Structure 1
Amino acid sequence: MAQPLPIISLFAALALGACVIAKAPKEMPTGAQDFADFCAGCHGLSGTGDGEMAGTLTRRPPDLTRLARRNGGTFPTTKVMAKIWGYTGGKGGAVMPNFGPLLDSDLMPYDGGDGIMSPTPARLVQIAEHLQAIQVR
């Protein structure tokens, strides 16, 4: 009579593998991916304000590739992150929605340019860094 041990061992190994796969952490999107998912509809993939929804808004979305140029050559990281997270705007005539809840993630120490290391959601940092990377000089 054949021993059922090899078959039982095989099923046990497969079940354990399924548990490991099911509990694997979800990979965090990059800043470029989050920008494409949450921002490009209005700001366009290039960030110039030409997204497919731009024409339906009461105010044209700003050209995000010129933020540093409009700020004396310095990228305004803290202001940008505050705007994305929803600390500014959203009241009165502002069109920009609050994306804070969508970008909630593990916190990391980050200096947004003011010399203060602050606990900041990693996904918010990644979007700000993506925007900084697409600045025209």
Structure 2
Amino acid sequence: MGRANRAVVSYATALAGLAVLVACTELSPPQGEETFRQYCAGCHGRGGVGNGPWAARLPVPPADLTVLRAANDGVFPVEHVMATVHGYPGKHDFSVMPEFGPLLEGPKQIWVSSEGEEIMTPVALLELVSYVETLQR
């Protein structure tokens, strides 16, 4: 086989591999969405409006996650959402929202706060908060 034919075959093989990768990626939901379904939808509902199957049993209604940006002058409150999901000391004094930090441990990456602080943050937490941002009306 000549050099030109090998190049065409290599290119075709690469395209086929890319097509398989894209197809597989599109078939599986983004990780943040899957995490939301697993840990959040029971209370907040699949769409995030606070109507999950457990919502009626809670002493405090779950937040409507679709209006977070609107309630903050058009800015999605990333840091507040991350702190609420991850958890922090004393949180249970005023909330029934569980702390999910230990469940979201795993690979970390640097996230830069609004004040420019670089913080090693679980990728699963970043993906979950990114998904919640997509739910905004």
TM-score above 0.5: yes
Amino acid at match of 1:81: M
How far 1:92 sits from its partner (Å)? 1.9
Structure 2 unaligned regions, length at least 5: 1-29
- Matched with 2:85 is 84
Out of 32-41 and 101-110, give the one that drifted further: 101-110
Whether 2:73 is the aligned partner of 1:104: answer no
Alpha carbons of structure 1 residues 88 and 79: separation in structure 2 relative to 1, 3 Å? farther
Amino acid at match of 2:111: Y
Structure 1 unaligned regions, length at least 5: 1-28
RMSD: 1.5
Q: Report % sequence identity.
A: 39
Whether 2:19 is the aligned partner of 1:30: answer no
How far 1:115 sits from its partner (Å)? 3.1
- Matched with 2:45 is 44
How far 1:32 sits from its partner (Å)? 0.2
Amino acid at match of 2:127: Q
Higher-helix-fraction structure: 2
Contact 1:80–1:128 (CA under 8 A) maintained in structure 2: yes
Aligned pair count reads 108
Alpha carbons of structure 1 residues 89 and 43: separation in structure 2 relative to 1, 3 Å? farther
- Matched with 2:14 is none
- Normalised TM-score (structure 1): 0.74
Whether 2:74 is the aligned partner of 1:73: answer yes
How far 1:57 sits from its partner (Å)? 0.3
User: What SS class does the counterpart of residue 91 from structure 1 fall into?
Assistant: helix
How far 1:91 sits from its partner (Å)? 2.0
1:8-42 deviations in whole A, cap 9, x for unaligned? xxxxxxxxxxxxxxxxxxxxx70000000000000
